[in-house]
Amino acid sequence: MAPYDGQKLLEDEIVRVLTGLTSSFEPNELAYLALTSKVEAPVRDRLAFTLHQSVGSDYLVAREWDRVDLAILSRSQVPVALLELKAMYSFDDAMRYCLITAEDEAKTRSFAPQASAVYSLLLATHVSSQVPQGLRRVVKYDGHINRAARKVGDPELVRTALLARMDEALRERNLVASGNLAGGIAFELPVDVFYWLVRDPGPVPVALEL
């Protein structure tokens, strides 16, 4: 792969890897992971390794680097891109989580070099059917999932409401990419993991001297 000569090229690669991240999991693996735990760590780990494979000849990709979930560093360990992840569910308060990610961006920006790009990645797990009684305490937050679906009458209405709330909550933010990591099916439950990648609006040059 040709060397990256600027933040925009690196950002494009982050988006490309994120968009295709589902293919890095085994079929239905992401559904299983999202149903049985918060999906933040599995997505971070797979994103980090895939980026390591993709840009590792030019950059160092690190997890949990200096209080940051995922960092892309120059070969001299200068931070080029810093990324914080948060995970929620489709029944959660979207505005609250968007405020949390904004706080994460501000906190990271406070100690990041001015030339570093700072991102937040918000993930939302959505289960497209009610969780049966036999999966209680196996599927995480099964009660919340079922209550949200009963409240509006259809799990897909929960999904629709989530996406509408996120559109509103991120209207004034610097949204870089959004989409759906189709998780597949586990325990006969269809699962999607929606994502929103936001960049802090701090000043970032087109090219960095690494």
Map out the domains of the chain as residue ranges: 7-199
Query: Residue 116 — pLDDT band, cuts 50, 70, 90?
Result: very high
Q: Could you give the CA distance from residue 199 to residue 177 in angstroms, rounded to a whole number?
A: 9
Q: Could you give the CA distance from residue 47 to residue 65 in angstroms, rounded to a whole number?
A: 15
Q: Could you give the CA distance from residue 149 to residue 130 in angstroms, rounded to a whole number?
A: 7
- Average pLDDT of the chain, as a whole number: 92
Amino acid letter, residue 140: K
Query: Residue 6 — pLDDT band, cuts 50, 70, 90?
Result: low
Of 168, 164, 165, 163, the closest CA to residue 180 belongs to 163
Q: Could you give the CA distance from residue 31 to residue 182 in angstroms, rounded to a whole number?
A: 8
**Residue 201 pLDDT exceeds 90:** no
- Tally the residues of the chain: 210
CB 192 within 8 A of CB 33: no
Phi–psi pair at 63, nearest 5 degrees: -105, 145
Phi–psi pair at 96, nearest 5 degrees: -60, -45
**Residue 5 pLDDT exceeds 80:** no
To the nearest whole percent, how much of the chain has pLDDT over 90? Answer: 87
For 143-185, how does the pLDDT look when each residue is reduced to its tens digit (9 = 90+)? 999 999 999 999 999 999 999 999 999 999 999 999 999 999 9
Least confident stretch, 2-16, 19-33, 165-179: 2-16
Give whole-number Cα distances, 8 to 5, 22, 81, 153, in Å: 9, 23, 11, 43
